[in-house]
Structure 1
Amino acid sequence: MDTVPLWAQFAALAFLILASAFFAMAETALMAANRFRLRHQAKRGSKQAIATLWLLQRTELLLSLVLIANTLINAMAIALVTAIAITQFGFEEHVILISTGLVVFILIVLAEISPKIIGARYADKIVLPASLVLRPLLSAAKPLIWFVHLFVNTLLRLVRVKPAGTEQEARLSPDELRSVLIENGSFIPQKHKSILMNLFDLDTISVEDIMTPRAHIEALNLAVPVEDIKAQLTTCYHNKLPVYDGEINQIAGILHVRKAVALLNEEDELTVDHFRALLSEPYFMPQDTAAFAALQNFQENKERLAIIVDEYGEVQGLVTLDDIIEEMIGEFTTSTPSATRADSFGWDAKGECLLEGSTPLRDINKRLGLNFPLDGPKTLNGMLLELLQDIPEAPISVKFGQCIIEVVQVHDQAIKVVKLRRPSA
């Protein structure tokens, strides 16, 4: 050490500290890096991202490299400071202790804590250039790492720890993926985020939640006079109509209105058999089918409309492909009366809202920000009848949670009109 200039010794010490800081910062950045962003960049041809993913696929080797390098560097730094202290001051114990303590403090501050904080905060900026250095170092240090792992693996076997490669790569569950979407939603346009969140919800709702109820189905009855059928066809709102014989549970098929309109222009006298000949096979679906499964069924069977039935085969409602798509991306602009009603309700200036009793609870929760239960009756009328255990006489008011519900009109054993009052904040 006497032949080495003092400035060179301190330069070597500074280099060791910087090298230790680099390994600590690179290790933290690699562990904190956004793997989804890295995969995206790798698919676009980024060499740095490809190198980073290559390192992340060899986490145990990478950690071994960093620990071996940091241990050697820190030991060399302490040995170098001790040698400098002995060269300059002799074998003075208090000088050696002070110099050793000082370099340990410097290593903790400058080569451990500070670089790791920087690596965690700026992981995505640091990880790409750092990977270009770590990858060749890892390849060069393989013999040393292999030698060290001979002893490590022996120790792990003794304590019955599974060797590397026996566990599958961790994958995100749907709930974890939803959490990632919520936490990082600021990087995604609000409309896109809403669609993705609604897509997750398709597995949690059934077709019963989104179907058009039986009482609101626009259907064609072949048991009525032909003139009535023709009148209904000229004023209907839909392109396809369920057709039944006398009673809604006796579904005969699905009628394409366009074909029927073409039939109306013919001069021959029309009969019910003419319309029956145009019917296509109805597609039935159980009421507890998940909305996402229904979407897959529509795709696989090349259908766009399904009749919803219960466990006894009784018709409960009707669901279309458009209904499911609306659950994902929101409602379409349409001229049907039901859609007009759905779009029209909301809180007025007095904090009140007038609704039909047949309004679905899911629509009320979405539009009014309420939290009515969805695991029981599906409509406001059904919820109130279950709550009151009787058909009430208007006017009557009840309090459900923080919302006051006033029954305004009752007709034909059903609650027709209801007024809601906004809960106080």
Structure 2
Amino acid sequence: MIIGYAISILLLLGMSGFFSGSETALTAASRARMHQLEKDGDKRAATVNRLISNRENLIGAILLGNNLVNILASVLATSLFTALFGQGGLALVMATGVMTILVLVFAEVLPKTYAISRPDTMAMSVARPISALVLAVSWIVVLIQFVVSVTLRVLGLGTPAEAVSAEQEIRGAIDLHASEGGVGAEDRLRLVGALDLKELTVEDVMIHRKNIKMLNADLEPRQLIMKAMASPHTRLPLYRGEKEEIVGILHAKDLLRAALPLGGDLSSLNLEDLLRKPWFVPETTPVQDQLDAFLQKRSHFALVVDEYGELQGLITLEDILEEIVGHIHDEHDVAVQGVRPQPNGSVNVDGWVPIRDLNRATGWNLPDEEAVTVAGLVIHEAQTIPEPGQSFVFHGYRFNVLRRQRNQVTGLNISEAETS
């Protein structure tokens, strides 16, 4: 009888360890990897996905099985030690102490440690037997869940759990792996940049109107060609009279295609035939929508206007892609415009530089919720238009105002603030 008790207790402890390890493996398994394996035809992964899609039933069934075998093992242990030491407190103390150690080590710590080190593999191994258990005790689990739900409502604790969006989960995973060194800084910027597109508007990423390279449509054809060839851009807005009056977009290829057959005589060049109709978009357009519009219209260039129709800037497909992959340089580009690192570690920045561009160029983390440009951030934080020579410390950085033109801050020197 004593040997029978001992064998039964060991078998029950083994079952308890199986339940504990299965719970850990199934809750820690990567849903993304299971989803991909299921798409590849892995039936075990499909079973895992079915189980974790209803976590309440899964956890309820495992806890039910685990508690049953633990309680039964404890009862048998009490009977065993009573048979060995007789009735009395010693048998209860021995049974409690021995079972506590055995359950803690062999039914909890050991199987959970093993499961957490290889959750995906173990989850697929235990999926079928656990699936059978869930099916067998589903009616009991439903009854238990009903009792628990009623009890929580009676106690006033039956509030729904806060839902976590898929985007928040992805962001959290990226930041976690980046902090652990599993994802590089550049990869993190690209991944987060793709998620950020939905939160940005065209105003956040456009090239400001002061930095748009335009051509006067009234220039002589030869002079116009020379200026177009000297520009690093292939698409150039043309204005007539005021720079706000955009009459069309000149593509360098269209210009060269029309000029080459004329040889040196450009007098017959008809500029009006070459101009493309400008595309105006509101500055409040979400960047994601603008990207979709670019792809749909097969156009890479749009002019940005405010609610009054005034020109504010321009946006290109490249500007949007740079929000994901960082600055795209070619042989005609210069390094990040308006950002000039200094030997002492500080950075001279033109006021119009977008905060996001400065952060990417320096690895800083200046906030861009309240302002788009660096000058806008300083004015927002200082609550005034500062004078040259003034210095401010915001968000862990020192901003020294270098230049101001009328009511615009045009130049700053920024460095990390010294901490005492």
Q: Which residue of 2 aligns with 1:399?
A: 391
Could you tell me which amino acid in structure 2 is paired with residue 347 of structure 1? Q
Q: Determine the C-alpha separation between the residues in 2 that align with 1:157 and 1:361.
A: 49
Change (3 A) 1:280 1:135: same
Count of aligned residue pairs for this structure pair: 404
Change (3 A) 1:13 1:389: closer
Pick the structure with greater CA Rg.
1
State the Cα distance separating 1:195 from its structure 2 match. 0.6
Q: Which residue of 1 aligns with 2:195?
A: 200
Question: Is 2:172 the counterpart of 1:179?
Answer: yes
Residues 237 and 250 of structure 2 are in contact (CA less than 8 Å); yes or no, is this contact kept in structure 1? Answer: yes
Q: Determine the C-alpha separation between the residues in 2 that align with 1:106 and 1:206.
A: 60
Q: Which residue of 1 aligns with 2:156?
A: none
Could you tell me which amino acid in structure 2 is paired with residue 270 of structure 1? S
- For the aligned residues, what is the CA RMSD? 3.7
State the Cα distance separating 1:279 from its structure 2 match. 2.0
Q: Which residue of 2 aligns with 1:270?
A: 267
State the secondary structure of the residue aligned to 2:304: strand
Q: Determine the C-alpha separation between the residues in 1 that align with 2:416 and 2:74.
A: 71
Q: Determine the C-alpha separation between the residues in 1 that align with 2:319 and 2:279.
A: 16
Change (3 A) 1:340 1:150: closer
State the Cα distance separating 1:286 from its structure 2 match. 1.1
Question: Is 2:92 the counterpart of 1:97?
Answer: yes
Change (3 A) 1:389 1:128: closer
State the Cα distance separating 1:325 from its structure 2 match. 0.7
State the Cα distance separating 1:413 from its structure 2 match. 8.0
Q: How does 1:4-403 map to 2 (within 5 A)?
A: 6-88=2-84, 92-106=87-101, 108-110=103-105, 112-115=107-110, 117-118=112-113, 121-122=116-117, 124=119, 125-139=121-135, 142=136, 144-146=137-139, 148-149=140-141, 151-152=143-144, 155=147, 172-185=165-178, 186-267=181-262, 270=267, 274-336=270-332, 339-340=334-335, 342=337, 345-348=340-343, 350-368=344-362, 369=364, 371=366, 375-376=370-371, 378=373, 380=375, 383=378, 396-401=388-393, 402-403=397-398
State the secondary structure of the residue aligned to 1:14: helix
State the Cα distance separating 1:386 from its structure 2 match. 10
Gaps of 5+ in 1: 162-166
State the Cα distance separating 1:385 from its structure 2 match. 11
State the Cα distance separating 1:170 from its structure 2 match. 6.2
Change (3 A) 1:234 1:169: same
Q: Determine the C-alpha separation between the residues in 1 that align with 2:123 and 2:163.
A: 21
Could you tell me which amino acid in structure 2 is paired with residue 180 of structure 1? A
State the Cα distance separating 1:399 from its structure 2 match. 0.7
State the Cα distance separating 1:259 from its structure 2 match. 1.4
Name the stretch that deviates more: 365-374 or 285-294. 365-374
Q: Determine the C-alpha separation between the residues in 2 that align with 1:157 and 1:260.
A: 74
Once the two structures are aligned, what percentage of the paired residues are identical? 24
Residues 308 and 316 of structure 1 are in contact (CA less than 8 Å); yes or no, is this contact kept in structure 2? Answer: yes
Q: Determine the C-alpha separation between the residues in 2 that align with 1:359 and 1:38.
A: 44
Q: Determine the C-alpha separation between the residues in 2 that align with 1:204 and 1:33.
A: 31
State the secondary structure of the residue aligned to 1:265: helix
Q: Determine the C-alpha separation between the residues in 2 that align with 1:59 and 1:319.
A: 46
State the secondary structure of the residue aligned to 1:277: helix
Residues 304 and 313 of structure 2 are in contact (CA less than 8 Å); yes or no, is this contact kept in structure 1? Answer: yes
Residues 220 and 229 of structure 1 are in contact (CA less than 8 Å); yes or no, is this contact kept in structure 2? Answer: yes
Q: Deviations over 1:38-58 (max 9, x none)?
A: 223333344443332232234
Q: Determine the C-alpha separation between the residues in 1 that align with 2:73 and 2:418.
A: 67
Q: Determine the C-alpha separation between the residues in 2 that align with 1:153 and 1:35.
A: 25
Question: Is 2:387 the counterpart of 1:424?
Answer: no
Q: Determine the C-alpha separation between the residues in 1 that align with 2:301 and 2:70.
A: 71
- Per the normalisation by structure 1, the TM-score is 0.79
